[in-house]
Structures are given as structure tokens and as C-alpha cells.
Amino acid sequence: MTHDLSPEAAEAITAAVESRFEHQLAFLEEVVRAPSLRGAEAGVQTIVLDALRKRDYDVETYGIDVEALRSHPAYSPATIDYADTFNVSGTKTPVTATGRSLILNAHVDVVPTADPDHWTHPPFAATRVGDWMYGRGAGDMKAGLSANIFAADAIDAAGFRLNAPLELQSVIDEEVTGNGTAAAIARGARADAVLIPEPTDEAVIFANSGVIKFRISVHGVSAHPREPESGLSAIEAAFLVIDALKKLQAEWNLEKTDHAGFDALANPASLNIGTIHGGEWPSSIPFSCVLEGRIGFYPSDDPADRMEKLEKTLKDLQESDSRLAKAAPRVDWVGTCQAGYRLEAGSDAEKALALSHRDVNGADLKRSIMACYLDAALYMNHSGIPALTYGPLTRNIHGIDECVNLPSLLRVTRTIALFTARWCGVSPK
């Protein structure tokens, strides 16, 4: 049941968000200016750690123990040891809990910038231009991190305390595996709801794709270019592998009519070859080529079944093409291997978010689908906790000139503050 929130309390909380918004933007600038590529999140996590300590949260930091996590269903195959990075958790727990508990989760890892010279503004400068802040991670998803922290601040600044436990999670390695949130779940993180302010253009995500990520190694036969027929180019063989994967993508996309909502998407399977490295010498037929990528599927599907199908695709290709018989493509699973999820309409958590969204925007909350991995899937699938993914308007996430819309961020922070107050319940301090 959603707790009542008087108009006076709602007005005080939203006014507190607005009065502190410049402080929020200053914090966002600080965290964007702390580059936090995978495995190098410690700098930004230290900023978050200090911010939560100053706010009197009970703060913990913890790393990811791959060996301990490996047997947990929320784990995805990792390619780093996490030795130099860590999660941050800040909790506040009332003496007597009468409301519903909540986790506000955000990830701090960011993807590479590509060539910084192609950015209009340096990617880690956190440059404000009009209604936008530019920078890698500004939209995905350090803006959401700031919204979580400052939404909770506003409730306190308005003179209220929460009637239920609140945990702020700042997690690592969402972009490649989701193992930051997996580690939180494995440690026992629990709540009656989770909200993750990924950039969703102020819609709530009610379903996402399952995702498997792979590395495929292809071997050729080295030779001199004067005798190319005696060799086999691993790079050209890799092109054949990519063509086979594209056919697999088309096959899986045909299934979208069986999955409500996904039928409206152009490419729910969304094969992407993200990296390719091949060859040893400009004047040698290349011996090796390695490509990495991802492909999606549908919420009701078991990732293991899709992984088996991809492996069979490579085996069939090898058997049908003599060139691939020599190349012997091998797949290794690296990164996210997780199912999607579907949040059925009508949950109490979504009702509370929709009411808060309407209070701020004067319009109904839209529901949408994302054909990508979201940490919400781990809470939905492995903890049975309703997970809301809802965040600000952005442009060019994962691209050049990534930016977040600041008026939208203000609206989202106000909405999260009202949602938190309604969900957990509040009392005067």
C-alpha cells in the first residue's frame, strides 16, 4: 500500500530538491570529472563514499570476490579481477520501521570515450551548455546517481525522516557484466522495491532483453601474399562468422511477434560486434582474429538455451564451409549472460512512481521497453523484488558528445524524492 503524502509535505520535498539543485549539479560535475572506466572506478567511488558519510549514512565498501560469486545465478563471466575497485553502500534504518524498504541503485562505471578529439567538449570536463551537461557518464548514469542521493537529501531537508530502511547503492561493472549488483544481491541486499535511474527519457521500463556477450576466436593459416592460396585469412574467416551471426539475429528477430511490446521494436535481438582485432603483419596472411560482441533475446528465454544456439550456429558454419573447418571458430562467454525481465502492470511500486511522476509532470507515466541489459533484471529474476528503471532524458549515451538534459534531471529528482517518501512513508523529524 502506498503511504499518503500530504500536499504540504510533497510541496516541501519538491521545494527542497529545487533549492539544492545547483549543489546537485556541482556534485554531478565532480563525479563526471572522475573517469571511471571498468576496473578504475575507485576514484569516483571514493567521492560517493565521502558524500554518504557526510550525510550520516551507515557506509560499507566491498569488492567483488569472483570465486565466491561464480556459483550465484546473478553472476556473469568476468574478465578482470576487481582488485582495485569496489562497491559502496549507504543505509539509513529507522528505529521502528512502519513503511516499505527501498534500494536506490546506480552504477558508476562508464564505457570508453572513443577519440576525445571528436568530442565538442572534452569527455571528462562536465561542460554545461544551456540545458545540457556534456561528458562521458553524464547521462549513463551519473546523473541518476546524483538524483538518488539528492532525492533522499530533499526529504531530510524538508524536515522528514523515512519510516522504512533506505539503501543507496553505488555499484561497479554494470556495463560489461552486472557483477557489481550481483555482488550486492549475493551479500544479501533486500528491499520491498528497487529504483534504478538509468536514462529512460522519463518513462518506466517494463521489460528488457536478455543479453549474452561473447568473444569468438578464429584461426587462419599464415602465408606470404605472393602465395595467398596457400594460406587462410583469419580476418576474412571472421567476416563469415559475422555474416552467420547476422542471420541468427534475423532469425531471433522473427520471434518478436510472440512477445508483447517487443513486436514494436525494429531490432530486439540487436547483434553488435563491438571490437575486432586481427592479424600480425601487413604483408602476412593473418593467423588470428578475435571479435567481441553481444546479442539479445526475450525475457521468457533461458540464456543457456540461446548460448547453445549460438554455439550450434558456429558449429554448423564450420561443417558447411571448408574454410571455417580450418579456422575452427571458438566462442568464450565474457560479460553479461542474463535473462531479461518483464514488470507486469499494476504493481504497488509502479503505482507509487506513476503518482509521483504525475505530481511533477502533470501527465501519465509512460511505459517502455529497452533492448539492452539492465541491472533491474538481476533484482527481478534472482531476488523477486519489483525493480523500477526510470531516469532522465539524455542524448548520445555510449557515443560522442554524451549529455544529460538538466531540466529533465530536476524533474526526475523531484519524482524520485516523492516516490521514496510515498513508498517508505515519512514522519516529521
Asked if residues 339 and 210 have their Cβ atoms less than 8 Å apart, the reply is yes
- Is 241 found in the same domain as 193? no
Give the chain's largest Cα–Cα span.
83
- Is 227 found in the same domain as 193? no
Q: Is residue 356 part of a domain?
A: yes
Q: Is residue 218 part of a domain?
A: yes
The pLDDT, as a whole number, for residue 229 is 85
- Is 238 found in the same domain as 201? no
> What CATH number should be reported for the domain holding residue 87?
3.40.630.10
- Is 145 found in the same domain as 32? yes
pLDDT band at 2 (very low <50, low <70, confident <90, very high): low
Structural domain ending residue among the three candidates 316, 337, 358:
337
Q: Is residue 299 part of a domain?
A: yes
- Is 267 found in the same domain as 176? no
Q: Is residue 2 part of a domain?
A: no
Cα gap 185→170, rounded to integer Å:
13
- Is 61 found in the same domain as 41? yes
Q: Is residue 1 part of a domain?
A: no
CA-closest candidate to residue 373, choices 304, 308, 295: 295
- pLDDT per residue as tens digits for the range 234-247: 999 999 999 999 99
- Is 158 found in the same domain as 132? yes
Domain holding 309, by residue range, is 210-337
What's the one-letter identity of residue 405?
A: N
- Is 230 found in the same domain as 280? yes
Number of domains observed in the structure of the chain: 2
Structural domain ending residue among the three candidates 310, 337, 364:
337
The pLDDT, as a whole number, for residue 42 is 98
Is the pLDDT at 128 greater than 90? The verdict is yes
- CA angle (86, 125, 44) in 5-degree steps: 10
Is 303 strand, coil or helix? Answer: helix
Tally the residues of the chain. Answer: 429
CA 275 to the chain's CA centroid: 19
Pairing of strands 102-107, 194-196: parallel
- pLDDT per residue as tens digits for the range 305-352: 999 999 999 999 999 988 788 788 999 999 999 999 999 999 999 999
Q: Is residue 364 part of a domain?
A: yes
Cα gap 148→169, rounded to integer Å:
9
> CA 114, 117, 121, 123 torsion: positive or negative?
positive
Pairing of strands 204-208, 341-342: antiparallel
- CA angle (87, 90, 95) in 5-degree steps: 150
Give φ, ψ of 249 to 5 degrees.
-60, -45
Give φ, ψ of 218 to 5 degrees.
-125, 135
pLDDT above 70 coverage of the chain, percent: 99
Q: Which residue has the cell 568473444?
A: 215
- Is 351 found in the same domain as 328? no
- Is 227 found in the same domain as 322? yes
Is the pLDDT at 17 greater than 80? The verdict is yes
CA distances from 136 to 125, 126, 326 (A): 9, 8, 42
Asked if residues 341 and 207 have their Cβ atoms less than 8 Å apart, the reply is yes
Give φ, ψ of 349 to 5 degrees.
-65, -45
Q: Is 71 exposed, middle or buried (0-12, 13-18, 19+ CB in 10 A)?
A: exposed
- pLDDT per residue as tens digits for the range 87-125: 999 999 998 888 899 999 999 999 999 999 999 999 999
Asked if residues 42 and 84 have their Cβ atoms less than 8 Å apart, the reply is yes
Cα gap 127→109, rounded to integer Å:
19
> What CATH number should be reported for the domain holding residue 306?
3.30.70.360
- CA angle (113, 115, 117) in 5-degree steps: 115
What is the pLDDT of the chain when averaged over all its residues? Answer: 96
Eight-class DSSP state of 137: T
Q: Is residue 168 part of a domain?
A: yes
Structural domain ending residue among the three candidates 314, 337, 360:
337
Eight-class DSSP state of 300: T
Cis, peptide link before residue 133, omega less than 30° from 0: no
Q: What is the pTM of this model?
A: 0.96
- Is 163 found in the same domain as 47? yes
Lowest mean pLDDT among 57-66, 320-329, 355-364: 320-329
- Is 189 found in the same domain as 159? yes
